[in-house]
Structure 1
Amino acid sequence: MSGTHAIRRPGSAEPAGGGPFDLLLVPPNPRMGWRVLPARVVAMCVVELQKLRHDRTELYTRAVQPALWLLIFGETFTRIKAIPTGGIPYIDFLAPGIIAQSAMFIAIFYGIMIIWERDAGILTKLLVTPTPRSALISGKAFASGVKALIQAAVVIVIATVLGVAMTWNPLKLLGVAVAVVLGSAFFSCLSITIAGIVLTRDRLMGIGQAITMPLFFASNALYPVAIMPGWLRAISLVNPLTYQVDALRGLLLGTPSHLLLDYGVLAFAAVLGITAASSLLGRLAR
């Protein structure tokens, strides 16, 4: 029949037979895996930026806590010189820890958003698309990094106003951004994993509040690992926040650090978090 193009059967070199009603329509293969991941991450980050554009109050309110830490805790302990910091003012030593703390506090409650999406029916719609679950989780995880980067910039500005001597080397600032995003990705995935276990916002809020301060105090954000008691030092060595603070302190202040180890641990933690959260996403949607 002129003007009719034969459609080949899948796995066969021969066209489907007959007339126009015998045509076999083959749908395109769904986009899977790594091809969808970059687009999903970018899309989620754009969504987060749009939310901040429409409501900037979150930026202002979240800047209050780090400002108080630097103004009150930092200035006070700088005067009394109670914590050994290797010859740098305590407020300088503290600033990278507050950057990491602010990023963690944003990310650790990210599971509340995904529970809200489940209750609104959005999560179910996302799961029936051909997008891999790991891509959905990665997009949300690195979207939390966008908020964390904005918060980190706010803390850096406050610290600079207070006289903290930090580097402005573009390559080192890029390294700071990578460390902040990787740390935020892990803590947001930890929150989503907890959400997949407890399934309710109230329980997640309780657990989130119960683990944030222990994670913060069991790191080197406020004091060096060397002065910790043995049991706390052991906990700090498996705490990703410790490695994030070490990287930030080394990049921003030039103190001795272990950047390869720090980035390796943060990347491994982020991958582990994405894997765990992806495996529980289906349970959360039921």
Structure 2
Amino acid sequence: MSAAPAAPRPASADPADRNLDLLLVAPRARTGWRVVPARILAMCVVELQKLRHDRTELYTRAVQPALWLLIYGETFTRIRAIPTGGIPYLDYLAPGIIAQSAMFIAIFYGIMIIWERDSGILIKLLVTPTPRAALVTGKAFAAGVKSLIQAVVVVVIAALLGVALTWNPLRLLGVAAVVLLGSAFFSCLSMTIAGIVLTRDRLMGIGQAITMPLFFGSNALYPVSVMPGWLRAVSGINPLSYEVDALRGLLIGTPAHLGMDFGVLAIAAALGITAASSLLSRLAR
């Protein structure tokens, strides 16, 4: 005669019994759309934990923007060679250098993912149930947080040099959003190139070849009005120009097209995540 099935354990109001229930019955796994944000955040935290072991990257990368502001900015402020609409050139330059320093951090992010491929980490990540878009997005926004730390350094240097920056909390939140979106795009561009060239040496060469054209082909150093026609066309399709335009409008109050700037950066970041995700499996072969 078979035994009757055991009755389900009744829920208890006692906290100790509830903890025992968790040991006997596995908690319900998160499913659907709730999985993706959690895994994006987890990947972002994993990337940022690397800074705890080596912070030299942040210190060394602060040297170049400091030199741009101290030498280039101070010199062109004195000679007044570039028309900036009555704004001191150093004030005009500071948002462009923030965007430049953020781009320089993000544009070589693909080297890290190639290193993860070579060390076997990437294959282990790809066999987890985490969507590839979540992996890429987590890494992209980790690059954005690193760039945001770099941006804070540049803002402090600019403030010490007397640049008239806003300290409005809402505007500063907008600055953070702009830096995150811009860095997300450039890090995804780097990961996309990594998925095409597959080696660190090739990626380093291409990264060095495109960073300065992206920088000089934007409005970071001079207004669009002084550019030749062909360079205006380049600036119009360069996401860095929209990042700089938004940063100038938020930080020093120049006329800006903030709605369009945020829209372009958001679309560029989404396209970058899509492209990098589609090439991630090729990188892991």
TM-score over 0.5 (shorter chain): yes
Measured in 2, the distance between the counterparts of 1:57 and 1:43 equals 24
Which residue identity does 1:139 align to in structure 2?
A: G
Which residue identity does 1:52 align to in structure 2?
A: L
CA offset digits 1:41-80 (Å, max 9, x no partner): 3223323332223322222111100000000000000000
Percent identity, please: 82
Q: Tell me the equivalent position of 1:138.
A: 137
Query: Runs of 5+ in structure 2 lacking a partner?
Result: 7-26
* TM-superposed deviation, 1:3: 6.1
Q: Tell me the equivalent position of 1:227.
A: 226
2:214 equivalent to 1:210: no
Q: Tell me the equivalent position of 2:61.
A: 62
Please list, as runs of the form range in 1=range in 2, the aligned pairs for 1:88-237 lying within 5 A after superposition: 88-237=87-236
The worse-fitting range, judged by mean Cα deviation, of 36-45 and 253-262 is: 36-45
Q: How many positions carry a matched residue from both structures?
A: 266
Does the Cα contact within 8 Å between 1:33 and 1:135 map onto a contact in 2? no
Change (3 A) 1:116 1:224: same
The worse-fitting range, judged by mean Cα deviation, of 38-47 and 238-247 is: 38-47
Q: Tell me the equivalent position of 2:83.
A: 84
2:246 equivalent to 1:261: no
Which residue identity does 1:80 align to in structure 2?
A: I
Measured in 1, the distance between the counterparts of 2:95 and 2:3 equals 72
Measured in 2, the distance between the counterparts of 1:148 and 1:33 equals 31
Change (3 A) 1:190 1:32: farther
Change (3 A) 1:79 1:38: same
CA RMSD of aligned residues (A): 1.9
Does the Cα contact within 8 Å between 2:47 and 2:139 map onto a contact in 1? no
The worse-fitting range, judged by mean Cα deviation, of 209-218 and 55-64 is: 55-64
Measured in 1, the distance between the counterparts of 2:214 and 2:179 equals 16
Does the Cα contact within 8 Å between 1:30 and 1:130 map onto a contact in 2? no
Change (3 A) 1:111 1:32: farther
Measured in 1, the distance between the counterparts of 2:152 and 2:3 equals 65
Which residue identity does 2:141 align to in structure 1?
A: F
Query: Runs of 5+ in structure 1 lacking a partner?
Result: 6-27
Q: Tell me the equivalent position of 1:44.
A: 43
Change (3 A) 1:93 1:129: same
Measured in 2, the distance between the counterparts of 1:4 and 1:127 equals 42
Does the Cα contact within 8 Å between 1:31 and 1:130 map onto a contact in 2? no
Measured in 2, the distance between the counterparts of 1:151 and 1:32 equals 36
Which residue identity does 2:186 align to in structure 1?
A: F
Match of 1:36, SS state, is helix
* TM-superposed deviation, 1:245: 0.2
Which residue identity does 1:60 align to in structure 2?
A: Y
Measured in 2, the distance between the counterparts of 1:151 and 1:58 equals 10
Measured in 2, the distance between the counterparts of 1:213 and 1:40 equals 34
Which residue identity does 2:80 align to in structure 1?
A: K
TM-score (norm. length: structure 2): 0.89
Does the Cα contact within 8 Å between 1:32 and 1:131 map onto a contact in 2? no
Please list, as runs of the form range in 1=range in 2, the aligned pairs for 1:15-34 lying within 5 A after superposition: 34=33
CA offset digits 1:2-54 (Å, max 9, x no partner): 4657xxxxxxxxxxxxxxxxxxxxxx998666323322232233233322233
TM-score (norm. length: structure 1): 0.89
Measured in 1, the distance between the counterparts of 2:271 and 2:120 equals 27
* TM-superposed deviation, 1:175: 0.2
Change (3 A) 1:106 1:4: farther
* TM-superposed deviation, 1:86: 1.0
Measured in 2, the distance between the counterparts of 1:33 and 1:186 equals 26
Match of 2:83, SS state, is coil
Measured in 1, the distance between the counterparts of 2:240 and 2:84 equals 18
Change (3 A) 1:33 1:80: farther
Q: Tell me the equivalent position of 1:14.
A: none
